[in-house]
Amino acid sequence: MNRILVVEDLEDDLVLMRRALSRSGRTFDLRVARDGQEAVDLLSNQSWLPHLVLLDLKLPKLSGFDVLETVQHTLPTMIKLVVVSSSDEPGDIDKAMSLGAAEYVQKPVAPEEYLSTIGELCRRYLP
């Protein structure tokens, strides 16, 4: 079973993320972290490691950048961290990629596009 960690603090985005994952036709062991510290704690727990992390940048406690920086040297390379953020700032994209993100995706505004984008990420990064 595919394991996914969604790191997202906004309820509306989390609802869309869950809907997109359920539409993918796959079954998941899904965990949610609502802040950066919770994400780091989950990723530090070697008893449950995800195949895919969908990471927002703007989070309480620790930012997505802090999460990337904290875990970049400790996670196995088969775990893909994909930043899914509302920011389209080139500096944010460059920084996320330099900290080990596999990909940077700007959150689509339209719900159907959001669902499609998340589905495509699952197809691309899950075993």
pLDDT at 64: 97
Q: How many domains does the chain have?
A: 1
Please give the C-alpha separations between residue 34 and each of 39, 42, 58, 77, in angstroms, as whole numbers: 8, 11, 11, 24
61 HSE (CA, 13 A, CB side): 13
pLDDT, tens digit (0-9, with 9 covering 90-100), for 60-115: 999 999 999 999 888 888 899 999 999 999 999 999 999 999 999 999 889 889 88
pLDDT tens, residue by residue, 20-65: 888 888 888 999 999 999 999 999 888 889 999 999 999 999 999 9
Mean pLDDT throughout 11-17?
91
Q: Do 76 and 47 touch, CB atoms closer than 8 A?
A: no
Measured at the CA of 125, the angle between CA 121 and CA 126, to 5 degrees, comes to 110
DSSP assignments along 56-102, one per residue: -SS-SSS-HHHHHHHHTTTS-TTSEEEEEES---HHHHHHHHHTT-S
Q: Name the nearest CA neighbour of 17 among 83, 97, 111, 96.
A: 111
Q: Phi, psi at residue 19, to the nearest 5°?
A: -65, -45
The 10 Å Cβ neighbour count of residue 54 is: 25
User: Which pLDDT does position 47 carry in this prediction?
Assistant: 86
Domain span holding position 77 = 2-125
We report the CATH number of the domain holding residue 89 as: 3.40.50.2300
Q: Position of tokens 């990064």?
A: 125
Query: What local confidence, expressed as pLDDT, does residue 127 receive?
Result: 76
